[in-house]
A and B are shown apart, each in its own frame.
Chain A
Amino acid sequence: MTKRALPLRWLTSEHPLPWLFPVTSLLIVFGLYPVLYSLWLSFYKRNPATRKEKFMPSWNWEKLLSDERVWDAVQITFTYAFIALTLQLVLGLTIALILDSDKRGFGVLRALMTLPLVVPPAVTGMMFLLMYDSSFGVISNSLYSLGLLSPSTPILGTGSTALWGVIVADVWQWTPFMVLIMLAGLRALPREPFEAASIDGASSFQAFVFLTLPMMSKIIALAVLIRGIDLFRIFDYVKVMTDSGPGTATETLTAYAGTVYFKSANFPYASTVALATLILVLITASLFIKIFKVRF
């Protein structure tokens, strides 16, 4: 047998490298390189006046730790992620339980449920912005007429309610995602253990607590992880709806990074804040994976 040229020999062998090459190169170009570049950038000090950058590795990181706006943003990010995640999880599981039926029409309902997912987040933000408008917004006006809110404190213009206003938009858009994952899990549950449980004397509530929840735990953990990571990166709703305001009441970490980047044009420090988000996500997600023993 004649010896084939090297690339051909590689491709016809069982060597893993040729098969890993395409996806690995994509990951390196679009994943690893930007992160490393940001890291590299974060080691420079930028002088806004001269627009010169100077290599000072610890400058931005020290600034980060002493920057109160960063710590406020961390707190807001956590609050935002925690509230939104809890609401999406509870609503998602509840709606999934309601939609988990073979009765007529439920298939259509399940399909309709996914509609919010196809709306671009920025459009969702605009939509809610209009609905919150204090003169003609349907949500604001409903709350005014119910006496739950006064026109002097518009939802997005008041520090105490602005974050909730953004969270509602996020929940509206992303609860269907939870529903989808939960439904996939619920539909895949075996029927027999539930029959056995009903014979064993379990009410539907007991079956839910003792069977559904434990059997769904892995799926729930996975859904929480995916949504949680996403929520830490929240940017679009804040940008469109409040632009971090009023003041910095809704300024999450990524929003702050954006502000530093676009408004102060301090690219090295913006990179540092962005990397801080990444570190925060990594730590939180790893802790979550460890505590809840998530397996993929």
Chain B
Amino acid sequence: MSSVKISNLEKAYGNVKVLHRLNLDVEDGRFVVLLGPSGCGKSTLLRMIAGLESVTGGDILFDDKRVNDVHAKDRNIAMVFQNYALYAHMTVRKNMAFSMRLNKTDKKTMDEKVNWASSILGLDEYLDRLPKELSGGQRQRVAMGRAIVRDPDVFLFDEPLSNLDAKLRVQMRTEIKDLHQRLKTTTVYVTHDQIEAMTMADEVVVMRGGYIEQSGTPMEIYDNPNNLFVAQFIGSPSMNILKCEVQQNNGAQSAVIGDTHFPLPTNSSLQVGQIIHYGIRPEHFHVSTQAQHGSIVGTVKVVEPTGPETHVYLNIAEHSLCAITRDRIELRPGDAIHLQPDLGHVHLFDGDTSNAI
């Protein structure tokens, strides 16, 4: 196992810069998730760590040793690809043993390792099958088996679950996390699915347009997003954002959009007339059918019961919002609904820079 350090890393294809002076520290044994929308550079970063892409500038260090010019085959990493990248003409056993066959491991060790990996991954009965005879989830497990038999210093996952159906994805998510807890190998995992990031990571690195927007534990990022992008990217349904003007009313400040006044936390140091983005997560509204002191009224558009909670999509003035309630309230489209924001969980962002205030 080893730590991975990225320092001032840059990548450019011709004149097009895709990664801009990235810095990242992955401590030994940690599970780090690179999260971002398509084209943010997360896969490129991962492939650079793997040695599949050249480095334009900056350094990649494994255990403080510079590996920029070390060939992929000499980095002692293992990678799981989005479409599994299995060797189609080899059986499951041969797929898993391929790396050992290349470095001429003796047959006994090879069998032991393959059997160990297949028992962890539940592949015992498929060892002599070809990849095409397996289901998507089984193929993904073979790809993981191929990775773990190598006993690598670093595990790299490139969107490994995006080709699986929803149920299998949840199951494999747990399996990967369980595997990491058992093997404690340093892991870098790329995904665009924020649920995967939240559920699996020790540390989430949110990327956009070749920059790292924020990194931290999942809850840190969820509770204290640095900027509007991170706030909206993390969380499902995503955070409600309203562009408001700060006004003074009856001795207290409030964020005003149209005729609606959203209460502001008392400790915020805002100036009257300032333009801000008022952010609040759907679950931080108190939802009621009756007017309460300081509540905001909206019109119900769509009601989505999910079982444990109900998602209510509503309109306030011309703006769409979402609120989540765990109470069982009878709501129909067109009904009036009263919301009370939980002031402790209101996020404010600068109107110009979109950074958190």
Query: Contacts A190-B85, A193-B86, A196-B81 hold; do A210 and B98 have CB atoms under 8 A apart?
Result: yes
Of B72-80, B238-246, B267-275, B302-310, the one touching chain A: B72-80
Q: Mark B46-83, 1 if CB is under 8 A from A, else 0.
A: 00001110000000000000000001111101110101
Q: Assess whether B89 is interfacial by the CB under 8 Å rule.
A: yes
Query: Contacts A195-B81, A199-B72 hold; do A206 and B89 have CB atoms under 8 A apart?
Result: no
Distance in angstroms from B255 CB to nearest chain A CB is 49
Q: Assess whether A201 is interfacial by the CB under 8 Å rule.
A: yes
Query: Contacts A192-B81, A195-B52, A198-B52 hold; do A203 and B89 have CB atoms under 8 A apart?
Result: no
The count of chain A contact residues (Cβ–Cβ below 8 Å) is: 18
Chain A residue nearest in CB terms to B83: A192
Q: Assess whether A202 is interfacial by the CB under 8 Å rule.
A: yes
Q: Assess whether B146 is interfacial by the CB under 8 Å rule.
A: yes
Q: Say whether A202 contacts B73, CB under 8 Å.
A: yes
Q: Assess whether B21 is interfacial by the CB under 8 Å rule.
A: no
- Give every chain B residue within 8 A of A193 (Cβ-Cβ): 85-88
Chain B residue nearest in CB terms to A206: B102
* Complex Cα spacing A203 to B79, Å: 17
Q: Mark B81-104, 1 if CB is under 8 A from A, else 0.
A: 101111111000000001100110
Distance in angstroms from A204 CB to nearest chain B CB is 10
- Give every chain A residue within 8 A of B180 (Cβ-Cβ): none
Q: Say whether B89 contacts A214, CB under 8 Å.
A: yes
- Give every chain A residue within 8 A of B286 (Cβ-Cβ): none
Q: Say whether B87 contacts A199, CB under 8 Å.
A: no
Q: Which of A202, A206, A215, A217 has the most CB of B within 10 A?
A: A202
Majority secondary structure of chain B interface residues (helix, strand, loop or mixed): loop
* Complex Cα spacing A200 to B94, Å: 12
Q: Say whether B98 contacts A200, CB under 8 Å.
A: yes
- Give every chain B residue within 8 A of A197 (Cβ-Cβ): 87, 98
Distance in angstroms from B23 CB to nearest chain A CB is 25
Q: Which of A197, A199, A201 has the most CB of B within 10 A?
A: A199
Q: Assess whether B173 is interfacial by the CB under 8 Å rule.
A: no
Q: Assess whether B150 is interfacial by the CB under 8 Å rule.
A: yes
- Give every chain A residue within 8 A of B89 (Cβ-Cβ): 214-215, 217
Q: Assess whether A211 is interfacial by the CB under 8 Å rule.
A: yes
Q: Say whether A200 contacts B85, CB under 8 Å.
A: no
Distance in angstroms from B150 CB to nearest chain A CB is 7
- Give every chain A residue within 8 A of B81 (Cβ-Cβ): 192, 195-196
Q: Say whether B102 contacts A196, CB under 8 Å.
A: no
* Complex Cα spacing A193 to B52, Å: 12
Q: Say whether A200 contacts B52, CB under 8 Å.
A: no
Query: Contacts A190-B85, A192-B83 hold; do A199 and B102 have CB atoms under 8 A apart?
Result: no
Q: Which of A190, A199, A217 contacts B79 (CB 8 A)?
A: A199
Distance in angstroms from A15 CB to nearest chain B CB is 36
- Give every chain A residue within 8 A of B86 (Cβ-Cβ): 193, 196
* Complex Cα spacing A251 to B51, Å: 57
Q: Say whether A199 contacts B88, CB under 8 Å.
A: no
Query: Contacts A192-B85, A193-B88, A214-B89 hold; do A202 and B78 have CB atoms under 8 A apart?
Result: no
Q: Which of A192, A198, A214 contacts B73 (CB 8 A)?
A: A198
* Complex Cα spacing A197 to B87, Å: 9
* Complex Cα spacing A23 to B89, Å: 37
Q: Say whether A199 contacts B98, CB under 8 Å.
A: no
Q: Which of B50, B73, B84 contacts A201 (CB 8 A)?
A: B73
Distance in angstroms from B52 CB to nearest chain A CB is 5
Which residues B261-285 have CB closer than 8 A to chain A?
none
Query: Contacts A200-B150, A202-B73 hold; do A195 and B98 have CB atoms under 8 A apart?
Result: no
Q: Say whether A200 contacts B88, CB under 8 Å.
A: no
- Give every chain B residue within 8 A of A190 (Cβ-Cβ): 83, 85
Which residues A201-241 have CB closer than 8 A to chain B?
201-203, 206, 210-211, 214-215, 217
| Chain A residues packing against B (C-beta within 8 Å) | 190, 192-193, 195-203, 206, 210-211, 214-215, 217
10 more contacts with CB within 8 A, not counting A199-B72, A199-B79, are A195-B72, A195-B79, A196-B81, A198-B71, A198-B73, A199-B77, A201-B99, A202-B102, A203-B73, A215-B89
6 closest residue pairs by CB, A with B: A192-B85, A200-B99, A196-B85, A201-B73, A214-B89, A198-B72
Q: Can you list 21 A-B contacts with CB-CB less than 8 angstroms, sorted by A residue number?
A: A190-B83, A190-B85, A193-B87, A195-B52, A195-B79, A195-B81, A196-B79, A196-B81, A196-B87, A198-B51, A198-B52, A199-B50, A199-B51, A199-B72, A200-B102, A200-B150, A201-B73, A202-B73, A202-B98, A203-B73, A215-B88
| Chain B residues packing against A (C-beta within 8 Å) | 50-52, 71-75, 77-79, 81, 83-89, 98-99, 102-103, 146, 150
